[in-house]
Structure formats: structure tokens, C-alpha cells
């Protein structure tokens, strides 16, 4: 999307624009230039290229492709070429499973990564377990993935919903008030976010004024917003994703609710900020990574190279998820000196991302006990009059280790095959 399209997050428009810019390039991977005798190390990536989650999936794929090119330019992995094979999971667990099965049977992949939709993340985690594959969930946040449903061969690069909600709960509660209304996307991710916020809200002495569950793909939020105006909460907490969040924020502005009630929530994305018209840019949120970190080494160089590669598009948190996950596999394989799943899993446990990959302070590492990356959170607020890419003001960079629940509290009991 260019700036003239920034107020429109319509999927058909995005797909047309993507086709014009070579959307097929997200899926088609050129054959490596190594000698024929060199067998590539294959990573299968299942991410949404279509559906309400598509803009986020596109960014994750671009970040992974960017890493693939860097890695191959520098000599590959253990002197073997890296080949990233991308399939469209369409933000749907069933489709994601079908595409993962294709990658295993047809392409003989060594590792699996991807997903934006949390239900797809849980499905692929189970699939990877059955097929003895390392799986890195790049963008599915539901707590249980590295909590009660943790698996020996599943890792997660994005945060948990607990980390997201605790990243800005105190700001929203102290700054705006104790009475909250939730509009929540009706699937695993939204349910987990609302449960986490509600736990924190009640512990702090707050109350839930009301709430609504919105099916994925909702375009008309007016009935929910009428109820919000009637209940008059101090905080309207939006727990939506992709197109749904953009549509809701536009309608909130049309109702004038953002002028009467504080609006905020856990997760906000650069893709969403760019898609909103100026009148609908507002609120306090948490970013999981942000491109503007003047005091963090390597970030400026990464941003410059990424923007040059993608025609002025700046990297988002989703871009970084794809980038960091690809590099994590490279680092673990080289640490293990093997592509054997168990050996690479053990090499991933405790793996600290180096500064040129972490691109943030606080040295994020994949925690051995539950395989959750302890990445930093970037709480702040939207800059209403900002111009892309300056659309968000980060108030702090909070270490993930400070926010994440201990593995036992999250419910992870890691077991390994005999």
C-alpha cells in the first residue's frame, strides 16, 4: 500500500496492489545458486497471504525473505544454501495444516515456521510434533502455545498475550480509569487477551463495564459501539486484529467515541497505523518491535537496507518476527552442527539473539523451560498527525523478562520424546 491508499485496508485492494508489485514473489523462491551437489536446508513457512490477516502475513514473509537473502549472501548455513518455501495458510487452521502437509510430503522441509492466527499456531504445533519437526510460531500470541499446550519442538518469537497486556495495563488503568469495556475478536487470541486483561483489571480493583465478541471478518461494529456509548466506560479496550481493528477504529472515530472515552489495547501494528486515516489514529497500545530506536545498535542499518529492498516500506514488528525466526534457525543449526530436530531444539533452548539480529536492547533469548522468546515490549501511543513511518511514539522499551509469567505459572510442563 502506498500513502494514498493508507486509509484503505481492503483485502481486494491489497491483493491487486500486491499482484502489481509481484505478490507471487512472496511465494516463489528462486533456486539457490550453489552447486547442484549442495543440498539446501529447507524452511517451510505457512503464513496468510490472503484473508483478514494478509497484511501481517506479508510482512512476516518479507522479513524472512530478507533474512534468507542475507544468509545466502554470507555463505548459507553450514556452507549449504538456505531455501525458504512459502505457502498461504489464509489465516485458517485447516488450510494451514493442508499447506504444512504439502511442504513435508512434496518439499521435504527440514523446519517449519510461520502463522499469524493463534488457532493456526496451535494446529501447526501439534502437526510439527507428529512429524518430528522444529516449529517456530512467528506471530501467534495465545498464551497456551508456550503455556499449557507447550511442546518440546515448538518455539515462539512473538510475545504471549500476557506480555502484551501487561505491557500497557498500568498506563491505561492509572491514566484513564477503572471501568473497562472490551470489544474482542472471537477466537483464541482475543479470548486470551481479554482473560489476561480481566485478571489484571480485577486484581487492581477495576470493573468490566461490558463487552462484545466480534467474529473474525466483522465489518460493521455499530451495534457494539452503541452499547459502549450507553455503558460509558472509562476505557474502551480493543482486542482485534488486522482489517477488523482498522474497520472498528474508523467507526469509533465516526461515532466520536474516541473524543469521549479513552481507547487502547494490547497489540498494535505499523501495518494498521499506516492503513488508518488521520481521524482514526488514536489510542495507547503495545508494539512488539519498532523501527525507530536511535540508541540501539544495528537498527538504523537494518531499517535502511530493508526499506531499500522493499521500495521504501519500513520494517514492522511482523517483519522482524520473520527475520529473527529465520536467523534463529540458522544460529541453532550451526550451534548444533546438525539439522536433526532434537539437536537443533536443544541448541535453540537458551539461544540469545545477537545484537544484529535482536535489533532491540535487553538481549532476548528463547527461554529453555517453555521456548518463549523474551522479547521487549514497546508501549506508547499513536501520533495522530504523524506521516508514515512516524506514526507511533514509544514511551518505554520494557524487557520481556520483566513481563513474562514464569513457565510454571504459565502452565508449561515440557516433556520430550523417549
Domains located in the chain, CATH noted: 3-160+296-376 (3.40.50.2300), 162-293+378-403 (3.40.50.2300)
pTM of this prediction exceeds 0.95: no
- Report helix angle 54-73 to 11-20, nearest 10: 30
Phi, psi angles (nearest 5°) of residue 399: -60, 135
CA-nearest of 129, 105, 92, 88 to 42 is 105
Q: Which helix (H) or strand (E) holds 168?
A: helix 161-176
Positive or negative, the CA dihedral 175, 180, 183, 184 is positive
Give the whole-angstrom CA distance, residue 298 versus residue 281: 29
The answer to whether residues 91 and 98 touch, using CB atoms and an 8 Å cutoff, is no
The strand pairing partners of 366, in sequence order, are: 373
Give the whole-angstrom CA distance, residue 83 versus residue 331: 15
Q: How far apart are the first and last CA of the chain?
A: 49
Per-residue pLDDT of the chain (418 residues; tens, 9 = 90+): 333 333 333 433 333 334 334 455 566 555 556 665 689 999 999 999 999 999 999 999 999 999 999 999 999 999 999 999 999 999 999 999 999 999 999 999 999 999 999 999 999 999 999 999 999 999 999 999 999 999 999 999 999 999 999 999 999 999 999 999 999 999 999 999 999 999 999 999 999 999 999 999 999 999 999 999 999 999 999 999 989 999 999 999 999 999 999 999 999 999 999 999 999 999 999 999 999 999 999 999 999 999 999 999 999 999 999 999 999 999 999 999 999 999 999 999 999 999 999 999 999 999 999 999 999 999 999 999 999 999 999 999 999 999 999 999 999 999 999 8
Give the whole-angstrom CA distance, residue 144 versus residue 128: 16
Q: CA triplet 189, 193, 197: central angle to 5 degrees?
A: 175
The answer to whether residues 266 and 166 touch, using CB atoms and an 8 Å cutoff, is no
Determine how many CB atoms are found less than 10 A away from the CB of residue 298: 15
**pLDDT score recorded for residue 46:** 98
**pLDDT score recorded for residue 237:** 98
Amino acid at each position: 500500500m502506498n500513502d494514498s491508499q493508507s486509509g484503505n485496508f481492503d483485502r481486494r485492494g491489497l491483493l491487486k496492489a500486491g499482484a502489481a508489485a509481484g505478490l507471487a514473489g512472496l511465494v516463489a523462491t528462486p533456486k539457490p545458486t550453489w552447486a547442484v551437489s549442495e543440498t539446501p536446508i529447507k524452511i517451510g513457512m505457512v503464513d496468510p497471504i490472503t484473508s483478514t490477516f494478509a497484511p501481517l502475513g506479508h510482512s512476516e514473509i518479507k522479513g524472512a525473505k530478507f533474512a534468507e537473502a542475507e544468509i545466502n549472501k554470507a555463505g548459507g548455513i553450514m556452507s549449504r544454501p538456505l531455501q525458504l518455501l512459502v505457502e498461504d495458510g489464509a489465516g485458517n487452521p485447516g488450510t494451514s495444516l493442508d499447506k504444512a502437509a504439502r511442504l513435508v510430503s512434496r518439499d521435504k522441509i527440514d523446519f517449519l515456521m510461520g502463522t499469524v492466527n493463534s488457532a493456526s499456531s496451535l494446529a501447526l504445533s501439534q502437526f510439527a510434533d507428529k512429524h518430528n519437526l522444529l516449529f517456530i510460531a512467528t506471530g501467534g500470541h495465545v498464551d497456551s502455545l508456550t503455556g499449557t499446550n507447550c511442546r518440546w519442538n515448538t518455539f515462539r518469537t512473538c510475545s504471549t498475550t500476557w506480555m502484551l497486556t501487561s505491557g500497557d495495563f498500568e498506563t491505561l488503568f492509572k491514566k484513564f480509569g477503572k471501568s473497562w469495556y472490551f470489544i474482542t475478536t472471537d477466537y483464541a487470541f482475543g479470548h486470551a487477551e481479554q482473560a489476561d486483561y480481566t485478571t489484571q483489571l480485577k486484581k487492581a480493583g477495576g470493573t468490566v463495564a461490558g463487552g462484545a465478541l466480534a467474529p473474525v471478518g466483522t465489518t460493521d461494529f455499530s451495534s457494539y459501539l452503541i452499547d459502549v456509548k450507553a455503558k460509558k466506560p472509562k476505557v474502551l479496550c480493543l482486542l482485534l486484529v488486522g482489517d477488523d481493528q482498522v474497520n472498528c477504529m474508523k467507526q469509533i472515530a465516526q461515532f466520536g467515541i474516541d473524543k469521549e472515552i479513552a481507547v487502547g489495547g494490547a497489540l498494535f501494528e505499523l501495518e494498521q497505523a499506516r492503513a488508518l486515516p488521520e481521524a482514526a489514529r488514536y489510542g495507547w497500545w503495545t508494539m512488539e518491535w519498532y523501527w525507530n530506536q536511535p540508541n540501539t545498535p544495528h537498527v538504523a542499518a537494518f531499517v535502511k537496507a530493508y526499506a531499500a529492498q522493499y521500495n521504501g516500506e519500513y520494517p514492522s514488528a511482523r517483519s522482524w518476527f520473520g527475520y529473527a525466526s529465520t536467523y534463529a534457525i540458522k544460529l541453532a543449526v550451526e550451534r548444533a552442527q546438525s539439522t536433526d530436530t532434537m539437536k537443533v531444539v536443544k541448541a535453540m533452548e537458551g539461544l540469545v539473539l545477537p545484537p544484529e539480529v535482536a535489533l532491540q536492547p535487553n538481549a532476548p533469548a528463547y527461554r529453555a523451560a517453555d521456548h518463549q522468546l523474551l522479547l521487549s515490549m514497546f508501549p506508547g501511543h499513536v501520533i495522530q498527525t504523524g506521516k508514515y513511518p512516524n506514526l507511533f511514539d514509544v514511551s518505554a522499551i520494557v524487557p520481556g523478562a520483566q513481563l513474562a509469567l514464569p513457565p510454571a505459572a504459565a502452565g508449561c510442563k515440557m516433556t520430550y520424546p523417549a
